[in-house]
């Protein structure tokens, strides 16, 4: 499902993913997990 979303047509947007070192990408990953777009690996 993640691949499908990443390959789909996207609207223009402003992003702050690159701001504050890795904080932006970490928030993106956590948001994807919370929205059930992605899943966390079970231990």
Q: How far from 22 is each of 6, 18, 27, CA to CA, in Å?
A: 20, 7, 9
Spatial contact of 5 and 36, defined as CB atoms under 8 Å apart: no
- What radius of gyration do the chain's Cα atoms show? 12
Question: From first to last of its 43 residues, what are the pLDDT tens digits of the chain?
Answer: 778 877 887 776 666 666 667 777 787 888 888 888 777 676 5
* CB within 8 Å of 20: residues ≥ 6 apart: none
Spatial contact of 39 and 1, defined as CB atoms under 8 Å apart: no
- Domain residue ranges of the chain, discontinuous segments joined by +: 1-41
pLDDT at 15: 67
């Amino acid at each position: 499902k993640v691949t499908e979303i990443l390959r789909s047509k996207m609207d223009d947007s402003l992003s702050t993913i690159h701001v504050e070192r890795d904080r932006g990408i970490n928030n993106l990953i956590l948001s994807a997990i919370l929205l059930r777009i992605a899943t966390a690996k079970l231990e």
